[in-house]
């Protein structure tokens, strides 16, 4: 995640324990929902690194990652997996650690225990050891495995014997993306079916029943599939079972990995480790090792662990450096468990340590790996990522807003003494941006302040997709009446001005949201009020109000883009009075009408448009046109399936059109030049 971050605050907070004093050396906010803390001790010398993940932050997620995403694939360093998953999924990875122990012989570099990534099971395992997982509802857990897999079709069920293992006689095996692009099976006495979840390729989960649609069926072996699909491969009785399934049929995969404790369902991410460090708020190393096998390690070594608090709303990714005399000695498992308790863990699991121990935050390796060569190539990792793209979070930095408010010639009404700086108040974290606007006593013009991002140059700003929303938090209590805020966004044909939102003047943080999918803006500098390109950049935030002699202080925090959001343009759930496109689309959906496949051209135009229907049965239709405020400006019934529409009497701008004809309906935008 490429962003400017806080340098942190040096603190000296010490707490006595049975064996050392932990000193909190520094704290830094990595992103919304993720805080990094560095601890140290002097006797013995230790360095400890903690990423605290707040699960109450709805944009934070965990992801279990397999090196190169395939079984028997080459190992990767945690920095490599971190970078790969930031780029391929449009995730914003904010933290990461190495996870499970891995094999070093036979099949190389595979996790020794179970792994589940995005709901898909890497492979089955008979090792009855503690695993860490998190559900679709973002609830963490530690539990032991007890696996059971079945396929149900047509009222009958059969056991799935293994997952991503070599196919042997008279077995049913499930293959998915972790195996590679095909099953690598032979044709002899085999039937295979390719399936995909009814809910889509992202609907996989464990400890759940996953309804799937059968896409294909073959007896040729080595069936191919793509990410999000799976193949069931059967021989013997399993072949007979699959032979009775048809393409297009719905089947159920019941994928149970944990039967106790009850209540754990819809698992999305899971990793193994050894051994449990904390059980119900107590150090349990000795009993856990006795239960899971092996002697209690007493050596001092680098360590990695994951844990969570009693209320299950905080997850802790933790690394202890070691094998560096006088700097960081390393810990025993018992000592490491004590530290996990100290930071607030109610449950905790030890992960692979030694030279594998790596912790990252904001693209940087935060610890000092014990291997002389640096980060070790390992088999898997756990990543924390944001579903949003952070443009600026203002942690002791101005971010992209490093120009004074009067730098833009568009700014009027305020004095050149107006400034932007950091404030020790924040929506989240410790800092925000404060815009201090002073009256220009020589001007009677209404205030308009174009606060530039990256000096208004696209090359200086982070690009984002043209779908979802862009938002930030704003607080003020010194605004004049009728104060407003809007965005300037650069796309491939110029700059687009967003709709304005009324500023709430109550000294509370409010979230201001603009829809990118239905931007409904106005044009400037060659733009057309619509975000046409696949990606865009933020040009500026504009603040405006009537002229006043009163100083205006505006706090801004957490400027973010969410590509998955379906929110409309609004303030804290208070929508703009009318969103015509959403309204018309909802109307069409409510009436359950069909799409026409119509074309509208030219668009933009000076007011005359041609409407053509691909379906010749459309002989009559009604056209409703509304403006950006939701007012009906044209409503007329037309006879004939294709028409020339004259809207030249309307003022230039964006309009929303709703065409209906019996069971057919379609909504679209037009731009009148």
Domain ranges of the chain: 56-139+265-387, 148-256, 390-575, 580-672
Burial class (CB in 10 A: 0-12, 13-18, 19+), 627: middle
Q: pLDDT value at position 595? A: 45
pLDDT tier for residue 300 given thresholds of 50, 70 and 90: very high
Please write the tens of the pLDDT for every residue from 532-582: 888 899 999 999 999 999 999 999 999 999 888 888 889 875 554 434 443
**Does residue 285 contact residue 278 with C-beta atoms inside 8 Å?**
no
Give mean pLDDT, residues 586-606.
56
CA angle 334, 338, 340 (to 5 degrees): 115
| Backbone phi, psi, residue 234, to 5° | -130, 145
| Backbone phi, psi, residue 241, to 5° | -60, -45
d(CA 82, CA 102): 18
The whole-model pTM stands at: 0.76
Cross-strand partners of 482: none
Lowest mean pLDDT among 77-91, 549-563, 659-673: 659-673
Specify the DSSP class assigned to residue 623: E
The domain made up of 580-672 has a fold known as Immunoglobulin-like (2.60.40)
Please write the tens of the pLDDT for every residue from 486-519: 999 999 888 999 999 999 999 999 999 999 988 8
Q: Which residues contact 548 (CB under 8 A, 6 or more apart)?
A: 439, 447, 480
d(CA 47, CA 520): 52
Q: Kindly tell me the sign of the dihedral angle through the C-alpha atoms of 563, 386, 485, 511.
A: positive
Burial class (CB in 10 A: 0-12, 13-18, 19+), 326: exposed
Average pLDDT for the chain: 88
Give mean pLDDT, residues 313-328.
97
pLDDT tier for residue 6 given thresholds of 50, 70 and 90: very low
Q: How many whole angstroms from its chain centre is CA 670?
A: 33
Please write the tens of the pLDDT for every residue from 135-192: 999 999 999 998 999 999 999 999 999 999 988 889 999 999 999 999 999 998 999 9
Specify the DSSP class assigned to residue 179: G
The tokens describing 127, both together, are: 């090792």
Q: pLDDT value at position 315? A: 99
What dotted CATH number matches 390-575? Answer: 2.60.120.260
Q: pLDDT value at position 575? A: 53
Give mean pLDDT, residues 288-304.
90
Q: Which residues contact 417 (CB under 8 A, 6 or more apart)?
A: 438
Give mean pLDDT, residues 45-69.
95
d(CA 378, CA 433): 40
Q: pLDDT value at position 261? A: 63
Q: pLDDT value at position 106? A: 64
**Does residue 535 contact residue 465 with C-beta atoms inside 8 Å?**
yes
Give mean pLDDT, residues 383-404.
92
Residues of the chain above pLDDT 70, percent:
88
CA angle 620, 623, 629 (to 5 degrees): 170
Q: Is 154 left (phi over 0), alpha (psi -120 to 50) or beta?
A: left
pLDDT tier for residue 613 given thresholds of 50, 70 and 90: low
């Amino acid at each position: 995640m490429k962003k400017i971050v806080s340098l942190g605050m040096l603190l000296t907070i010490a707490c006595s324990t049975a064996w050392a004093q932990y000193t909190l050396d520094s704290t830094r906010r990595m992103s919304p929902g993720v805080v990094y803390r560095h601890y140290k001790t002097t006797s013995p010398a230790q360095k400890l690194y903690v990423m605290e993940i707040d699960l109450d932050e709805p944009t934070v997620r965990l992801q279990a990652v397999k090196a190169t995403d395939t079984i028997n694939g080459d190992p990767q360093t945690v920095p490599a997996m971190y970078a790969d998953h930031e780029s391929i999924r449009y995730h914003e990875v904010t933290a990461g650690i190495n996870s499970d122990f891995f094999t070093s012989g036979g099949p190389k570099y595979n996790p020794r225990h179970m792994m589940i990534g995005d709901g898909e099971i890497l492979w089955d395992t008979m090792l009855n050891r503690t695993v860490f997982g998190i559900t679709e509802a973002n609830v963490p857990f530690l539990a032991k495995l007890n696996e059971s897999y079945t396929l149900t079709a047509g009222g009958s069920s059969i056991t799935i014997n293994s997952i991503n293992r070599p196919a042997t006689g008279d077995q049913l095996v499930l293959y998915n993306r972790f195996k590679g692009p095909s099953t690598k099976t032979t044709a002899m006495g085999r039937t295979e079916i390719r399936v995909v979840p009814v809910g889509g390729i992202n609907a996989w989960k464990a400890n759940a029943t996953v309804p799937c649609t059968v896409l294909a069926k073959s007896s040729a072996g080595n069936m191919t599939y793509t990410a999000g699909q799976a193949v069931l491969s059967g021989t013997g009785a399993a072949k007979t079972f699959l032979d009775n399934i048809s393409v297009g049929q719905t089947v159920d995969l019941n994928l149970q990995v944990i039967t106790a404790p009850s209540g754990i369902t819809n698992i999305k991410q899971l990793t193994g480790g050894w051994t449990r460090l904390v059980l119900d708020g107590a150090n349990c190393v000795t009993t856990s090792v006795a239960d899971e096998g092996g002697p209690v390690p007493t050596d001092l070594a680098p360590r990695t662990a994951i844990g969570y608090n009693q209320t299950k709303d905080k997850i802790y990714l933790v690394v202890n450096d070691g094998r560096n005399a006088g700097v960081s000695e390393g810990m025993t498992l018992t000592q490491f468990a004590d530290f996990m308790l100290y930071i607030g863990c109610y449950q905790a699991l030890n992960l692979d340590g030694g030279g594998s121990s790596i912790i990252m935050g904001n693209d940087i390796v935060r610890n000092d790996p014990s291997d002389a060569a640096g980060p070790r190539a390992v088999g898997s990792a756990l990543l924390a990522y944001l579903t949003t793209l952070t443009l600026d979070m203002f942690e002791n930095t101005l971010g992209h807003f490093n120009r004074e408010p009067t730098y833009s010639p568009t700014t009027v009404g305020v004095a050149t003494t107006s400034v932007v700086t950091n404030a020790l108040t924040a929506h989240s974290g410790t800092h925000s941006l404060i815009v201090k606007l002073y009256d220009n006593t020589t001007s009677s013009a209404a205030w308009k302040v174009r606060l530039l991002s990256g000096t208004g140059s696209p090359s200086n700003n982070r690009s984002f997709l043209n779908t979802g929303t862009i938002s930030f938090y704003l607080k003020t209590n010194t605004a004049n009446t009728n104060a407003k805020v809007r965005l300037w966004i650069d796309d491939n044909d110029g700059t687009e001005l967003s709709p304005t939102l009324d500023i709430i003047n109550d000294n509370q943080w409010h979230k201001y949201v603009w829809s990118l999918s239905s931007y409904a803006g106005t044009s400037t500098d060659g733009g057309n009020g619509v975000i046409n390109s696949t990606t865009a950049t933020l040009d500026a935030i504009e603040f405006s109000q009537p002229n006043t002699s009163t100083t205006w202080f505006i706090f801004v925090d957490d400027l973010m883009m969410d590509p998955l959001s379906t929110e409309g343009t609004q303030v804290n759930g208070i929508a703009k009075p009318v969103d015509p496109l959403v309204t018309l689309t909802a109307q069409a959906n409510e009436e359950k009408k069909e799409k026409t496949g119509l074309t509208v051209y030219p668009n933009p135009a000076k007011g005359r448009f041609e409407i053509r229907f691909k379906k010749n049965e459309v002989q009559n239709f009604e056209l409703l046109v509304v403006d950006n405020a939701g007012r009906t400006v044209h409503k007329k019934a037309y006879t004939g399936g294709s028409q020339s529409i004259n809207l030249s009497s309307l003022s230039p701008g964006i309009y929303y059109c709703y065409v209906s004809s019996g069971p057919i309906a379609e909504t679209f935008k037009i731009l009148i030049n």
